[in-house]
Structure 1
């Protein structure tokens, strides 16, 4: 069973990665999503934070917490279930440079879906767009030859589950909610002192 799944995983990887050798006009797009699109998600967190609504700021904090928890969990999984990158064991179209470290699960997919799922939980309409964006990041990591599909699926599941758990904890655990609210209030006090009064009234 395990061997069958591994074979299917490689077949899907090979099918998707082969596009890098045929449809080269898309390679630059995939390189962008594989290497730089994550910065747009970070910019999204910053943008939501500076819209200065309490819900958006809580959402931004939760997305960062979910990403951090996801990364920590991913590191533990990689330690106990180490898997080589595709380019270590196979001849692939590798479009982006990458260290030959653990492939499973994908940190990029974990972070992208942790952020996108947090946005979706709070702001569903915009969240759908972010989830599509996260999916493109995930697909690009296979296209460019640095991850297997199962690495991506595991990272995506980990990111979404982490986002949901963090949101539920922050929403239902009074202590956690109060701590986050206190952090936001502390920041806003400082912000009110730094920004002109006209701007702080818009908060």
Structure 2
């Protein structure tokens, strides 16, 4: 089923001269754009201390999620779908294994962080961006659907871990949120 859904999503790749560049752009600049949006939260006018805390948590979850992925990659060596002849690749080949998707981990860790901190409008925006990034990775042919689901799960776990371990209004948090 994973291969069938992956092939179905990827079957649209290379067929639409308008949609292909959009998906390629999302897959290339989606995560940097999300990072930029988190950074810009630092200058929020509403509930500044809390939003700054959330921005720090998002950064920590982002890094923790990617670190977890590096550990997973030591044990799971899944071939990319384009190397297995399962997808049509629209971007340059990747040098690492397919599972889990770092893009999905990075984007979903940020979205889940905002969800856990009860910032509903921001949460919706970040989840929309994360879903587009995840979908684009399958569309451009670089990941299976299960790769992005696995990456999303890693991002969610990282966000939950940061939520449990990094406390708002702790001495470290007060220092970090007072910068600038």
- Distance in 2 (CA, whole Å) between partners of 1:112 and 1:99 is 18
Residue number in structure 1 paired with 2:88:
93
Q: Which residue of 2 aligns with 1:11?
A: 4
The residue aligned with 2:14 is 21
Q: What TM-score do you get using the length of structure 1 for normalisation?
A: 0.81
- TM-score normalised by the chain length of structure 2: 0.91
Which runs of 5 or more residues in structure 1 are unaligned? Answer: 1-7, 192-203
Mapped partners of 1:36, 1:75: distance in 2 = 21
Match of 1:44 among 28, 33, 37: 37
**C-alpha distance in structure 2 between counterparts of 1:167 and 1:100, whole Å:** 32
After the TM superposition, which residues 103-122 of structure 1 pair with which residues of structure 2 at under 5 Å, given as runs? Answer: 103-122=98-117
What are the ranges of 5 or more consecutive residues in structure 2 without an aligned counterpart? none
Deviation at 1:178, TM superposition (A): 2.4
How many angstroms apart in 2 are the aligned matches of 1:58 and 1:124?
16
- For residues 24-63 of structure 1, give each alpha carbon's deviation from its aligned partner in whole angstroms, at most 9, with x where no partner exists: 4211110011111112211111111122611111111100
Runs of 4+ in 1 over 3 A off after TM superposition: none
| RMSD over equivalenced CA pairs, Å | 1.7
Q: Greater helix percent: which structure?
A: 1
Q: Which residue of 2 aligns with 1:66?
A: 61
Equivalent residues, number: 177
1:1-203 to 2 correspondence within 5 Å?
A: 8-51=1-44, 53-90=48-85, 92-122=87-117, 123-171=119-167, 177-185=170-178, 187=179, 191=180
The offset of 1:162, in angstroms, is: 1.2
Indicate conservation of the 8 Å contact 1:48/1:57, yes or no: yes
Match of 1:201 in 2: none
